[in-house]
Amino acid sequence: MRWSQAFIPTLRDDPADAEAVSHQLLIRGGFARQLMSGVYSLLPLGQRVCRKIADLVRSEMERIGGQEFRLPALHPAEIWQRSGRWEAMGDEMFRFTDRRGSDVGLGMTHEEVFAHLAGELRSYKQLPQIWYQIQTKFRDEPRPKSGLLRVREFTMKDSYSLDIDPEGLDFAFQRHFEAYRRIFSRCGLEALAVEASSGSMGGNESVEFMVPSPAGEDWIASCSSCGHAGNLEKITSRLAPMEDGPGLEAPERFATPGLRSIEDIASFEHGAPADRQIKTLIYVLDGSVVQVLLRGDHELMEQKLLDATGAGELRPASDDEIRAALGALPGSLGPVGVEGLRVLADASLRGRRDMVTGANLDDFHLRGVDVERDIVSPEWLDLREVKAGDGCPLCDAPLDVSQTIEIGHIFKLGTRYSEALGAKVLDDSGASRPIVMGSYGVGIERTMASVVERHHDDRGIIWPVEIAPFEVVITVLNPKDVATLEAGTALYEALLAQGIDALLDDRNERPGVKFKDAELVGIPFRVTVGPKGLERGILEFQPRDVDTGQEIEILKASVTIAEAVLERRTQH
């Protein structure tokens, strides 16, 4: 490709609404343009990168035996209703009624459709199978942000393993785990694998692949000592043991006029520190009011509450609902003496004595609370959000908490979808058994944006060779000089002949403009062809990730450059 004929609309300034580095550089570099909130057009450079990522993903999927499909993005409501997710997906699913009056939706993911197709399998002898596609998905994100990192329309590779038993699923899950490691390594990403919540996907185990970034929306806790890591929605931690006093024979009420928060009670003369208080939150789970109890210095992780209870819907109760259930308003709530209301308690409160909590009477609290004695039938769950410095659950070393981008997610689905969609086969004894499924996703555009988040400097993007839009840019300093243009063109053609993806910058622009554009776009290698160098029989060759170039002989240039490119290709 000649730059003079290419559509590469670079910009000098960052877009006004772009906060994430990847958003800024992909717009400035002419890779993408926003059409509306959460919806982007990929321009030629962006399409080239995404195509290379997709081809890389295909190669790794085929390496583990994947077969590529192309499924519809338009789905009938009925297939999602059978799995129970038509309502569960809520407002994030695009839905409408067609001219025939039928309810349809745009696919957020394709578990239901693949399970429907798996219904054509008849025997265990046809298993295992790995099916995948690379296709457009739709999600009505409430807050699209950070450019291509959180959007409403995106491309995803989703694959599905089909096995006769859980042992087969374990094997397929591990093969996908290893394939994802290779995919991200080849993209130049050091992805951290963490245990995660399966959320609306269901199943009993899932792993996310995370890349540290201030643009990320996921928080993980990780142990630098043993390597254990998990999403805050999933991971737990060890806490330092608490020494409780003997307490009182029965809870004692005391006045707390105007005191509404944990901090207020902690600083009150007759109060207690936060770790000696019981925090009472009132939630509505699937239409039922419940109490949620935490230590005063802990925060609730709502996804843990959903996962632990299996609830489909969750929201904080309104003041009217709280008053009706407990007789008081937030700030004076507590679990002592409450009957007929489900109590969900974090395990950190188990066995605690001499605690302080609300008295369910405005402006009053109770001291001397014994959790086991005074709270009726609590259900013990892991509900709290892990904090930096908590002990690792495996080795007790302090955990670090960091912000990350999720770039891949793999799930053990089990038989949820196969049972709902009738995907069954006969086993070796002739009995009908539901197929055991796994699901595995990688976002293509999100991977591209994540690479930019990790590989850039103050001049622009620094693409890894394997997914760069072009591997080499040949910058002709004076294209009006016939000898210079001919030398640049000859090198360009020689590189193409050797399988090197080259771009010839033959524009009639100042050298500084060309250099800045090449750095902004992030092409891994730049070759500068100028009249003075030609007189000496040399060219300047410079990798994007170093500050200085080197002189190479014109006669050996194509071989030298090709060797450098091929060496980078094989690094991952």
Inter-residue contact 153 to 94 (CB < 8 Å): no
Q: Model confidence over 443-493: pLDDT tens digits?
A: 999 999 999 999 999 999 999 999 999 999 999 999 999 999 999 999 999
Mean per-residue pLDDT over the chain, rounded: 95
Cis-peptide, bond into residue 246, ω within 30° of zero: no
Instruction: Tell me what pLDDT residue 196 has.
Output: 83
Closest CA to 71 of 107, 120, 118: 107
- Which residues have C-beta within 8 Å of that of residue 216, sequence separation ≥ 6? 149, 210, 403, 404, 405, 406
DSSP state of 8: -
Instruction: Tell me what pLDDT residue 90 has.
Output: 86
Q: Model confidence over 488-519: pLDDT tens digits?
A: 999 999 999 999 999 999 999 999 999 999 99
Q: Tell me what the mean pLDDT of segment 400-426 comes to.
A: 96
- Full set of structural domains in the chain with CATH: 3-74+113-235+401-453 (3.30.930.10), 252-381 (3.90.960.10), 470-569 (3.40.50.800)
Instruction: Tell me what pLDDT residue 150 has.
Output: 93
Whether 198 has a pLDDT exceeding 80, the answer reads no
Instruction: Tell me what pLDDT residue 413 has.
Output: 94
Whether 199 has a pLDDT exceeding 80, the answer reads no
Angle value at C-alpha 272, between 268 and 275, nearest 5 degrees? 135
DSSP string, 419-432: HHHT-EEE-TTS-E
Q: Model confidence over 47-100: pLDDT tens digits?
A: 999 999 999 999 999 999 999 999 999 999 999 999 999 988 889 999 999 999
Q: How far apart are CA 264 and CA 61, in angstroms?
A: 56
The structure tokens listed for 521 are: 């776009």
Q: Tell me what the mean pLDDT of segment 297-323 comes to.
A: 94
Q: Model confidence over 349-402: pLDDT tens digits?
A: 999 999 999 999 999 999 999 999 999 999 999 999 999 999 999 999 999 999
Q: How far apart are CA 38 and CA 384, in angstroms?
A: 32
Q: Model confidence over 243-274: pLDDT tens digits?
A: 898 889 999 999 999 999 999 999 998 889 99
Instruction: Tell me what pLDDT residue 195 has.
Output: 87
Report, in angstroms and rounded to the nearest whole number, the Rg of the chain calculated over CA atoms.
29
Q: How far apart are CA 94 and CA 74, in angstroms?
A: 10
**CA dihedral for 202, 203, 204, 210, sign (positive or negative):** negative
Q: Tell me what the mean pLDDT of segment 147-154 comes to.
A: 95
Distances (CA, A) of 550 to 256, 476, 520, 560: 75, 16, 20, 11
DSSP string, 262-285: HHHHHHSTT---GGGBEEEEEEEE
Q: Tell me what the mean pLDDT of segment 420-434 comes to.
A: 97
| Whole-structure pTM value | 0.90
Instruction: Tell me what pLDDT residue 203 has.
Output: 61
- Percent of the residues in the chain that have a pLDDT greater than 90, as a whole number: 90
Q: Model confidence over 98-119: pLDDT tens digits?
A: 999 999 999 999 999 999 999 9
